[in-house]
């Protein structure tokens, strides 16, 4: 059995009865991580990344003694990683910097929107002027030809 988690390929020779993997990433979950998760004592991998989880990391996650991988990235969690949990998951790793706040993300989104709007406006104006000049040229050719025919008819009447 092969499991890929966070780009790491893990090969198991047979399906182990105690192997448990839960991947609840990118589900837009909100609220706190429930303490009832401590009852999943045989859990090896838990992925709760890319949600909107709030609050602190519960101490009850330290009860997951079989836990090898815990992914809580891209949430709105606060506080420190419980020391007991860091020991459970192996060597403690430096916590990555928090993602930018909503304000800077919205500001970045507006910059992109305004850049797109501005470039679209310029391209649209240039194409519009080009198209209208062609239409004007065709109209003038048609009108001049019509006027010549009209003058020709008046002379011969």
Q: Which residue has the tokens 């949990």?
A: 85
- Helix ranges restricted to H, 82-101: 83-88
**What are the C-alpha distances in Å from 74 to residues 8, 44, 147?**
19, 21, 72
| pTM of this structure | 0.49
CB 89, CB 70: distance < 8 Å: yes
3-class DSSP assignment, residue 113: helix
pLDDT along the chain (157 residues), means of 10: 72 64 87 86 88 89 84 88 69 53 59 86 90 85 86 73
pLDDT tens sequence across 38-78:
888 888 889 999 999 999 888 888 888 888 888 999 999 98
CA nearest neighbour of 45 among 78, 74, 12 = 12
φ, ψ (nearest 5 deg) of residue 33: -70, 125
* Bridge partner residues of 53 (DSSP): 31
Q: Is 94 helix (H, G, I), strand (E, B) or coil?
A: coil
Class for the domain spanning 2-99: alpha beta
Q: Scan for tokens 């303490």, then name that residue.
A: 35
């Amino acid at each position: 059995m092969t499991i890929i988690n966070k780009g790491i390929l893990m090969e198991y020779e047979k399906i182990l009865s105690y192997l448990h993997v839960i991947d609840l990433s990118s589900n837009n979950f909100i609220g706190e991580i429930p303490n009832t998760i401590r009852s999943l004592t045989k859990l090896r991998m838990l992925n709760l990344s890319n949600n909107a989880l709030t609050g602190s990391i519960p101490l009850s996650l330290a009860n997951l003694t079989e836990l090898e991988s815990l992914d809580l990235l891209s949430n709105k969690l606060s506080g420190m990683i419980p020391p007991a949990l860091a020991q459970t998951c192996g060597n403690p790793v430096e916590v990555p910097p928090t993602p930018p706040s909503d304000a800077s993300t919205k500001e970045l989104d507006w910059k992109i929107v305004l850049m797109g709007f501005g470039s679209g406006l310029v391209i649209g104006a240039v194409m519009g002027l080009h198209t209208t000049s062609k239409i004007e040229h065709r109209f003038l050719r048609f009108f001049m030809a019509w006027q010549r025919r009209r003058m020709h008819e008046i002379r011969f009447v």
